[in-house]
Amino acid sequence: MNTIDMYTSLGITKEVYDFCDTLWNSLKERFDEIDKVSEYNQLKVLHALQKHHVSEACMLGTTGYGYNDAGRDTLEEVYASVFHTEDALVRPQITCGTHALALALMSNLRPGDELLSPVGKPYDTLEEVIGIRPSKGSLAEYGVTYSQVDLLPNGDFDYENIQKAINEKTKLVTIQRSKGYATRPTLSVSRIGELITFIKQIKPDIICMVDNCYGEFVETIEPSDVGADMVVGSLIKNPGGGLAPIGGYIAGKKECIENAAYRLTSPGLGKEVGASLGVLNSFYEGLFLAPNVTANALKGAIFAANIYEKFGFDVIPNSTESRHDIIQAVAFHKPEALIAFCEGIQAAAPVDSYVTPEPWAMPGYDSDVIMAAGAFVSGSSIELSADGPLKAPYAAYFQGGLTWQHAKFGIMKSFQSLLDKGIIHSEQLKTALKNCL
């Protein structure tokens, strides 16, 4: 059996295969650049593992209080080395990305302080953490105020209004690297650096925190290399490499991490407690694989942008733009196209491939949402996944792919699904193939 037959047996027609494979051949230079970044990051991670003498014993976990958990403490040193920070908190007790961000904020802000977002509205789930949408236990409830400066219409920082917004109460600035579900461009690490430099010139003691979700290992430097006092993220995204079954991290200044540890466990206990149970092996191995897994996901995102742009859909980022996170948005402008796309992604999954995703009224959203996910780790979005709200512009947000081969197959399945449903016509496909050759 050859590869084409294998694709056929998995529901991909010869025309779809030919088009996708031809297109892929045109992307090889782009893929080489991604491989260079992942080569550098692989060495960066390996260097950190070796420097801290990670040993077989580090893979073992502790139970109960978790005193003297050498594997956990060494892993935190490894993270601090990878991000070039003084310290890090990397724990299974941090339940998700939102929790890691809430922890970093709540532990470093005190009543009377002000939090500033100079890059517009933060990620949806942070609205309740901050109290933009009222919630029990929000920062607002504890007397922490919030101010926000939006990006300018062209995507630039609004330096004038950022300067005006900084006052004697401003204690912490939160900068979201990825666009999340917004349509603004994702920030490059160097742009984040410019913003931090500007802020620190006005008020040097402001804590600059970066929501690093989906950005880790996309570039050779991280926001902590350009002045961020804390970088924060989820282990079921890039840095967990697909293997971490849970967890979050905060890497940064010693004092910031100490505050976070005292809040996560208890004043006085801090980092000393917190059993790692059986997860350390997956945290170490996941971090080791993370540069490569991130590269695979990036290739998938670029491949998808190039395919869907050829058929006239709006893709954000577009087919040639530089990448600073692993998210790809495709605006279909038709509900049936969004649904067909997600069905294709689901049908490509290694787990739950036989189920059909249905739009549903997810808590916290103002319209039905469709989600495609067939992951080894529930909800993991470094694994191939897609979702989108059933409202204009009917955009699918697509990310992940533990292997490039699987990301490629998933996108081919999504494309086949649009073709089978008559949303894309075979005449269009023929023309597109001709234009590629």
Residues that bind ligand PLP (CB under 6 A): 96-98, 101, 123, 125, 176, 178, 180, 211, 213-214, 234
- Beta carbons within 10 angstroms of residue 188's beta carbon: 19
- Which residues have CB under 8 Å from 54's CB, separation 6+? 74, 78, 284
Nearer to ligand PLP, 178 or 265 (CB): 178
Nearer to ligand PLP, 101 or 386 (CB): 101
- Residue with the CB atom nearest ligand PLP in the bound state: 97
Give the CA dihedral 385, 389, 394, 398, nearest 10 degrees: -20
> What is the smallest separation between the CB atom of 120 and ligand PLP, expressed in angstroms?
12
Nearer to ligand PLP, 20 or 173 (CB): 173
Nearer to ligand PLP, 118 or 270 (CB): 118
Q: 3-class SS at 245?
A: coil
> What is the smallest separation between the CB atom of 3 and ligand PLP, expressed in angstroms?
34
> What is the smallest separation between the CB atom of 146 and ligand PLP, expressed in angstroms?
16
Burial of 186 (0-12, 13-18, 19+ CB in 10 A): buried
The closest of 143, 93, 110 to 264, measured between CA atoms, is: 93
Alpha carbon 302 to its chain's center: 15
* Angle at CA of residue 344, ends 342 and 345, nearest 5°: 65
Q: 3-class SS at 148?
A: strand
Nearer to ligand PLP, 270 or 401 (CB): 401
User: Does the bond joining 317 to the residue before it have cis omega, within 30 degrees of 0?
Assistant: yes
Nearer to ligand PLP, 290 or 412 (CB): 290
The closest of 16, 14, 23 to 309, measured between CA atoms, is: 23
- Which residues have CB under 8 Å from 87's CB, separation 6+? 76, 80, 251, 252, 253, 254, 257, 258
> What is the smallest separation between the CB atom of 101 and ligand PLP, expressed in angstroms?
6
Nearer to ligand PLP, 52 or 177 (CB): 177
> What is the smallest separation between the CB atom of 369 and ligand PLP, expressed in angstroms?
14
Nearer to ligand PLP, 71 or 223 (CB): 223
> What is the smallest separation between the CB atom of 179 and ligand PLP, expressed in angstroms?
8
DSSP 320-383: SS--SSS-EEEE-SSHHHHHHHHHHHHHT-SSSTTS----B--TT-SS-EEEEE--SSTT-SSS
Nearer to ligand PLP, 246 or 419 (CB): 246
- Beta carbons within 10 angstroms of residue 360's beta carbon: 11
> What is the smallest separation between the CB atom of 60 and ligand PLP, expressed in angstroms?
27
Q: Which residue has the tokens 């090889």?
A: 28
Give the DSSP H or E segment for 6. Answer: helix 3-9
- Which residues have CB under 8 Å from 95's CB, separation 6+? 246, 248
Burial of 143 (0-12, 13-18, 19+ CB in 10 A): exposed
Nearer to ligand PLP, 62 or 238 (CB): 238
> What is the smallest separation between the CB atom of 347 and ligand PLP, expressed in angstroms?
24
> What is the smallest separation between the CB atom of 234 and ligand PLP, expressed in angstroms?
4
> What is the smallest separation between the CB atom of 215 and ligand PLP, expressed in angstroms?
8
